[in-house]
Structures are given as C-alpha cells and as structure tokens.
Amino acid sequence: MKERQGNKSIIINGKRQKAIIEFDFDDYTLYVFQGILSTFDIFIKYKKGKMRIRTPKHIHWAVDVLIKMQGQKKLTKRFLCEVKALWVKVEPLSNNDYNSLRLLVENNAETIKIEEYKKLNKYGEYPVDFLFVLMLLLSVQEKTNRSDAYMFGSIINELLESDYDIFSIVSKASFKGRNNE
C-alpha cells in the first residue's frame, strides 16, 4: 500500500471536492474526501482498476469476509478479532487532513501483521491490506459522526459467532439509516 495526496475530484452534495488522501493497493484505490455529516466527517470511495468509482457499504466487506470464512475460517476470524480490537479502541477524528489520516492508517497498520493474513487473498474480492484500511476508515468514520455508533461492531460480532446467522449479518450490513446514500 502507498498513500499520496489526493488528486481525484468528485461532486459531493453539489460541490466539486478533491480527495484529501488516496491509498493505492495492487488493483484498488481508496479515496478519502471531506464528508458532510460533521466537521471531521470523511467520505470514502474506492475503485478497482478501470472500473467506476464506488461508495463502500458494510454489506460489501461483510460478504467478502463471509467468502473468506468459507476458505479459511480460523484465519478470517483471527483477522476479524484484530479489526474488532481496533474498532473498540479507535477514537473519533479530531482532524481529517492528509497527515492525520496518513498517521491513522500507518499507526494502526503497525498493530496488525497483514502478512499473516495474505492467504485470505485467495478468497473473496478484496485483498486483506485493502480490506483492513477500508474497515479502519469505516470504523473511524462511524465513530466520528456518532460517538454511540455500533453498526460496524455489531456486524463483526455477528461474523464472530460460532453459529452465525447469514440473514442477520446481511440485515445488519445492509441497514439504511437516514444518513446513508
């Protein structure tokens, strides 16, 4: 993964905005823009190769994790436990400039050894380094906008259940609150 100053420009809420930071992976790019829900809100987009830019939803990563579980259940659950620990400790953003977002990802990437989870890249759509940064950014986005946020954590809890219920996971992951696009 490499990060860089944002270059991508899109229209958000009727205004053209340039990305604050961009994260490049082998086939994917994650873009982080200024959000509209709060002062330090972030708006996340991603793109695979030459495909169109997309807004990630919880259902996207949840389905990917379910597929990874079918191939390597124990390893996927270990990865999820590490992501959950990050979700528990992550604080709302106090700034969403380039350096703050870069340090957020760099500092948290040091706590998880992504190399240990590379085997999971054989399953699902997303490589684990991309998935980790996406999940970290979604976690901090959620906590920045609502200190009592729980959706991300509740999806992970469902996935970590020994007899998880796919319908509950899909229901939680595809829930549309009033602020979702």
pLDDT digits (tens, 9 = 90+) for 16-29: 999 999 999 999 99
Structure confidence by residue, pLDDT tens digits, 20-60:
999 999 999 999 999 999 999 999 999 999 999 999 999 99
Torsion of CA 149, 155, 157, 158, to 10 degrees: 140
Say if residues 161 and 151 touch (Cβ distance below 8 Å).
Answer: no
Cross-strand pairs, 4: 22
Cα 104–chain centre separation: 13
CA distance 151 to 17: 27
pLDDT of res. 180: 41
State mean pLDDT over 109-138.
Answer: 95
CA distance 27 to 108: 22
pLDDT of res. 177: 54
Say if residues 123 and 68 touch (Cβ distance below 8 Å).
Answer: yes
Q: Report phi then psi at 30, rounded to 5.
A: -105, 135
Q: What is the pTM of this model?
A: 0.90
* 3-18 burial: b if 16+ Cβ within 10 Å, else e: beebeeeeeeeeeebe
Structure confidence by residue, pLDDT tens digits, 77-96:
999 999 999 999 999 999 99
Query: Radius of gyration over alpha carbons of the chain, in Å?
Result: 16
Kindly report the average pLDDT of the chain as a whole number: 91
